[in-house]
Amino acid sequence: MSTTPSPVPSTREAVIIGGNRIPFSRAGKKYVRTSNQDMFTAALEGLVARFGLQGERLGEVAGGAVLKHSKNFNLIRESVLGSSLAPTTPAYDVQQACATGLEAAIAVTNKIKLGQIESAIAGGTDTVSDAPIVVSDRLRAALLDANHAKTTGAKIKALLSVRPKDLAPATPSTGEPRTHLSMGEHQAITTAKWGISREAQDEIAYNSHQNLARAWESGFFDDLVTPFKGLTRDDNMRPDTSLEKLAKLKPVFGTKLGESATMTAGNSTPLTDGASAVLFSSREWAEERDLPILAKFVDAETAAVDFVHGHEGLLMAPAAAVPRLLARNGLTLEDIDFFEIHEAFASTVLTTLAAWEDEEYCRTELGLDGAFGKIDRSKLNVNGSSLAAGHPFAATGGRIIATAAKLVAAKAAETGRPARALISVCAAGGLGAVAVVESV
Amino acid sequence: MADQSAPSDKYTVAVNRGFTKTIAKKLGLPRPAILRRYTPDAPLTVGPVLVVSDDASAGDADALAKALLAWDVDVRRSTEGAGDVRWGGVVLVGTSAESPEAVSEAVLTLGSTLRRLAGNGRVVVVSRAPEAGDSPAVAATRAGFEGFTRSVGKELRAGATANGVQLTGGAAVDSASALGTLRFFLSAKSAYVDGQVLPVGPSDTPEDLNWEQPLAGKVAVVTGAARGIGAAIARTLARDGAKVVVVDVPAAGESLAAVANEIKGTSVQLDVTADDAGTKILEATRHLGGIDILVHNAGILRDKLLANMKPAQWDAVIAVNLASQLRINEQLLAAGVEGLRIVSLASTSGIAGNKGQTNYAYSKSGVIGHTAATAPLVAQLGGTANAVAPGFIETEMTRSIPFATREVGRRIIPSLQQGGLPLDVAEAIAFLSSPVAHGVNGQVLRVCGQSMLGK
């Protein structure tokens, strides 16, 4: 891997004005029979209301969903049409597994920086409760053949090829198509490889719940979340959980690895429904409207790893992306005030941190001169992350960006010095997207 | 925008239509009228307006007649030749009368027109408030109009109302606020305001009064705006041209956002009891150019007999309904907001008292108290502080009241024999926030259909 920094392009700034999301809900609870479009429209409507954007033609809205019906081919555009934004606001769908929301933000902020657009919303939505159910490949083939057949006889012949077992639907799966392993099984291998302890994972999970609950109590989310369908807070949050309770849970991933199985339902994110949206613009656009500017979206980087052949763990791409991003921007880990590392699993955070602290890994895999460094744990996911809030795949990026922007704005206001947040999101397919957000 | 003027009370609709109307008539059941509500293109009144006065007040009566003419009202100065006209309104002017005997003729002329007062007609009595230094005869003459106005209100039928404009501090009869108040009482905007005598002081006359969009260019903040009366206030202020910032607790955010998007406003999820709520409100209006109007509508109920009252029930009501208003007002005044127009929601319960509502009544009575005390403070910066006291209003909350209690509240207690709509409260607030009401300060305007509950 090359560590040669790419030149930082000289363009104008893209700023973050604010964000909005609906409370995240565990699959099968509050948002049962609520579509991705309903949820993303609700997230948009809350954002429009917060900043008085009714009838406004934005540069564009970009976002997506990981689990998506084929009928939602224009999910984001349809959501815009159902919102109070001007119907002349263009939109498009993006999909990059769990990094969808962050990738959408990277796309729109790049356009803002280039001067192609002045304003944009990026976000995402996902529902497991309303996930598409797909018919089996054999049934699908028979139906397509019957549809293409020219004669009645040929149609009947095609349909007669269907066998009872073909009628069973193919349920949605987040398993990796090339390895047939679930994300949890993949991460269990990485966890074992790095020797991450059960206690360390449970501590990450415990902190996530405590931090998120404290943020809710302090009113941090008052201008970041709009209630939806009677839900006013993230319902996965367990402020009353304890390290003792977490320690009692049985491992659910990596159980075939024997003694070393450490990943439980407590230190892994549950399947979740939700949607989020973030408003970006050029500085001029925000200033013309006297809208508050929380932070600027400085730069971003994506990476991918070869997990298929077992060379690297599925969720380790951010470990490679972050050093590249920081180097390009002349930053080190010491320059970061807040680390927002998406908790796909508690161990994802820990294996990433362990990798950065490992001299050999950093030399051989990241091409660095030595260990990338150790982060100050008190700066990690200070207002909770996905283990507590839940993780509606495409909605996580927007949740983190809005939280990070508000954190750096408050920190800068408090200290009078610039503050920075590093955002890191791992994704299926061995992908990762990372970004730096800085106070203005 | 949602139709806010449709009556939601089925009984009122039934006794005004078809077969059920006939039955109700035969049985002598109370037949509340369908009240006329404001629509932008409708005439100000339902028919010609008669202006009568005692001899001494004839000059003032002429001045008012002239103003009415400018509003395209068919104005008459006498009943002669009126024939079978149905009066849309009668304005009795007694501003310069100096003895009770002097007003007899004008009052009896008014009386002679009442049988010919149209449904939803208006009686407005324009007088002067008794003031220190008045001779006993003058004081008696002036004070007499108050009881008179309220009694006329109780005699009127078919949605007609009687209200009074009571000039104070030497305010001219054709000053902007006197005319604005007269216009409000004559219009359909005061549909559920009945039997009220509103003191009106001198005011700075704004240039170019905009009667269609009186709040154009103003920024208004409405608390508790996610639903009910608060949402109606937000819609009405927006209709009148204001940019509205709607505020409610974070938990009510979904409907709050819907209200904001409906009226092209902005939503702020904020608990008004927060220590820095006033500062947050200032921040939220900064990008709109600052706050002009603040409506303290957020309020809660925790009904319990005092003997059973728990500290949490008492404290919560005081915190939301009263203490929050005090704190927010203090923060806005400390910030030196100029020309701020504050309207707070009081309640007829706060005036009359209500069993099981000691906490609520304390808070609403307290609102009336702080309004009077805040008025001179905001006046120094060119603003006003007033309160609106709603009576029985048809909302989700009152729909949950048991049938019998609800019917007493609706039919028997108010002269108009029905509950009001959230819109009726909103209209009074929009009026008190408007530039033309600048001379009304420190007052409590009841929107209660002349409910007999009161001091």
Report the residue of A221, A223, A229, A233 to disrupt the B interface, i.e. the one with the largest count of B CBs within 10 Å: A223
pLDDT score of A1: 44
The whole-angstrom separation of Cα B314 and Cα A5 is 64
| Shortest CA gap B408–chain A (Å) | 34
Q: Does residue A430 sit within a domain?
A: yes
> What residues does B89 pair with on adjacent strands?
B49, B122
| Shortest CA gap A53–chain B (Å) | 8
| Shortest CA gap A221–chain B (Å) | 9
Quote the tokens at residue A202: 């449970």
Catalytic residues of B: 360
Q: Are residues A163 and A208 in the same domain?
A: no
Number of domains in chain A: 2
pLDDT band at A257 (very low <50, low <70, confident <90, very high): confident
Q: Are residues A303 and A327 in the same domain?
A: yes
Cross-chain residue pair B261–A54, CB shorter than 8 Å: yes
Report the residue of B267, B268, B271 to disrupt the A interface, i.e. the one with the largest count of A CBs within 10 Å: B267
Which of left, alpha, beta for B289 (phi over 0: left; psi -120 to 50: alpha)? left
Instruction: Nearest chain A residue to B290 by CA: give it.
Output: A290
pLDDT band at A381 (very low <50, low <70, confident <90, very high): very high
pLDDT band at B119 (very low <50, low <70, confident <90, very high): very high
Q: Are residues A206 and A351 in the same domain?
A: yes
Task: Using alpha carbons, list the distances in angstroms from residue A432 to A28, A302, B3, B56.
Answer: 28, 6, 51, 88
The single-letter code of the amino acid at B45 is T
Above 90 in pLDDT, residue B242? Answer: yes
Instruction: Nearest chain B residue to A84 by CA: give it.
Output: B261
**Residues in B touching A222 (Cβ below 8 Å):** 250, 269-270
Quote the percentage of chain A above a pLDDT of 90. 76
Instruction: Nearest chain B residue to A47 by CA: give it.
Output: B257
Q: Are residues A390 and A420 in the same domain?
A: yes
pLDDT score of A383: 97
Tens digits of per-residue pLDDT, B314-341?
Answer: 999 999 999 999 999 999 999 999 999 9
**Residues in A touching B258 (Cβ below 8 Å):** 45, 49
Q: Does residue A432 sit within a domain?
A: yes
ipTM, 2 dp: 0.85
The whole-angstrom separation of Cα B201 and Cα B436 is 12
Instruction: Nearest chain B residue to A233 by CA: give it.
Output: B251
Tens digits of per-residue pLDDT, B266-316?
Answer: 999 999 999 999 999 999 998 899 999 999 999 988 988 898 989 999 999
Q: Are residues A369 and A338 in the same domain?
A: yes
**Residues in A touching B287 (Cβ below 8 Å):** 289-292
Q: Are residues A162 and A205 in the same domain?
A: no
Q: What average pLDDT score do residues B346-358 get? A: 84
Q: Does residue A287 sit within a domain?
A: no
**Residues in B touching A45 (Cβ below 8 Å):** 257-258, 261
Handedness of CA A80, A85, A89, A94 (dihedral sign): negative
| Shortest CA gap A219–chain B (Å) | 9
Tens digits of per-residue pLDDT, B366-400?
Answer: 999 999 999 999 999 999 999 999 988 888 777 77
Q: What average pLDDT score do residues A44-68 get? A: 96
Cross-chain residue pair A55–B265, CB shorter than 8 Å: no
- Out of B254, B260, B265, name the one closest to residue A228 (CB): B254
Cross-chain residue pair B270–A227, CB shorter than 8 Å: no
Cross-chain residue pair B286–A225, CB shorter than 8 Å: no
Q: What average pLDDT score do residues B205-225 get? A: 87
pLDDT score of A4: 53
Q: What average pLDDT score do residues B179-198 get? A: 95
Instruction: Nearest chain B residue to A55 by CA: give it.
Output: B264
| Shortest CA gap A349–chain B (Å) | 31
Please provide the average confidence, as pLDDT, over all residues in chain A: 92
Instruction: Nearest chain B residue to A291 by CA: give it.
Output: B287
Tens digits of per-residue pLDDT, A71-90?
Answer: 889 999 999 999 999 999 99
Tens digits of per-residue pLDDT, A158-201?
Answer: 888 878 777 776 666 667 888 888 888 899 889 989 999 999 99
CATH number at residue A397: 3.40.47.10
The whole-angstrom separation of Cα B341 and Cα B181 is 16
Please provide the average confidence, as pLDDT, over all residues in chain B: 90
Q: What average pLDDT score do residues B49-73 get? A: 93
Q: Does residue A399 sit within a domain?
A: yes
The whole-angstrom separation of Cα A293 and Cα A295 is 6
**Residues in A touching B251 (Cβ below 8 Å):** 227, 232
Q: Does residue A277 sit within a domain?
A: no
Cross-chain residue pair A290–B265, CB shorter than 8 Å: no
Q: Which of residues 223-262 of B touch A (CB under 8 A)?
A: 243, 250-254, 256-258, 260-261
- Out of B251, B252, B267, name the one closest to residue A50 (CB): B267
Handedness of CA A253, A256, A259, A260 (dihedral sign): negative
Cross-chain residue pair A50–B286, CB shorter than 8 Å: no
Quote the percentage of chain B above a pLDDT of 90. 72
Indicate the range of A163-177, A241-255, B37-51 predicted with least confidence.
Answer: A163-177
Q: What average pLDDT score do residues A262-278 get? A: 94
Q: Are residues A153 and A197 in the same domain?
A: no
Please check whether residue B265 touches A, CB under 8 A. yes
Tens digits of per-residue pLDDT, A290-348?
Answer: 999 999 999 999 999 999 887 889 999 999 999 999 999 999 999 999 999 999 999 99
| Shortest CA gap A292–chain B (Å) | 8
- Out of A52, A222, A232, name the one closest to residue B270 (CB): A222
Please check whether residue B270 touches A, CB under 8 A. yes
- Out of B252, B266, B287, name the one closest to residue A49 (CB): B266
Please check whether residue B284 touches A, CB under 8 A. no
Q: Does residue A410 sit within a domain?
A: yes
Please check whether residue B266 touches A, CB under 8 A. yes
Cross-chain residue pair A222–B269, CB shorter than 8 Å: yes
Contact A244, A199 (CB under 8 A): no
Cross-chain residue pair A225–B258, CB shorter than 8 Å: no
Cross-chain residue pair A227–B254, CB shorter than 8 Å: yes
- Out of A50, A55, A221, name the one closest to residue B264 (CB): A55
**Domains of chain B (ranges plus CATH)?**
1-31 (no CATH), 34-200 (3.40.50.720), 219-447 (3.40.50.720)
pLDDT band at A135 (very low <50, low <70, confident <90, very high): confident
**Residues in B touching A84 (Cβ below 8 Å):** 261
Contact A127, A393 (CB under 8 A): no
Q: Are residues A215 and A141 in the same domain?
A: no
- Out of B250, B260, B287, name the one closest to residue A291 (CB): B287
Nearest to A373 by CA among A435, A320, A323, A309: A323
Q: Does residue A10 sit within a domain?
A: no
Above 90 in pLDDT, residue B413? Answer: no
- Out of B261, B268, B274, name the one closest to residue A84 (CB): B261
Tens digits of per-residue pLDDT, B74-92?
Answer: 999 988 887 889 999 999 9
Q: What average pLDDT score do residues B159-169 get? A: 94
- Out of B251, B257, B271, name the one closest to residue A49 (CB): B257
Give the residue numbers spanning the domain of A143. Answer: 137-167
How remote is the C-alpha of B386 from its chain's centroid?
A: 10
pLDDT score of A43: 98
**Residues in B touching A54 (Cβ below 8 Å):** 260-261, 264
| Shortest CA gap B452–chain A (Å) | 39
Report the residue of B219, B245, B264, B272 to disrupt the A interface, i.e. the one with the largest count of A CBs within 10 Å: B264
Q: Does residue A112 sit within a domain?
A: no
Report the residue of A17, A22, A45 to disrupt the B interface, i.e. the one with the largest count of B CBs within 10 Å: A45
pLDDT band at B4 (very low <50, low <70, confident <90, very high): confident
Indicate the range of A25-29, A389-393, B20-24, B42-46 predicted with least confidence.
Answer: B20-24
pLDDT score of B411: 65
pLDDT score of B338: 93
**Residues in B touching A52 (Cβ below 8 Å):** 243, 260, 264-266, 288
Above 80 in pLDDT, residue A104? Answer: yes
Catalytic residues of A: 98, 391, 426
The 3-state DSSP class for residue A277 equals strand
Q: What average pLDDT score do residues A95-112 get? A: 97
Q: Which burial class, exposed, middle or buried, applies to B393 when counting CB atoms under 10 A from its CB (0-12, 13-18, 19+)?
A: buried
pLDDT score of A2: 46
Cross-chain residue pair B250–A54, CB shorter than 8 Å: no
Above 50 in pLDDT, residue B47? Answer: yes
Tally C-beta pairs within 8 A across A and B. Answer: 67
Record the pTM: 0.88
Nearest to B54 by CA among B99, B115, B4: B99
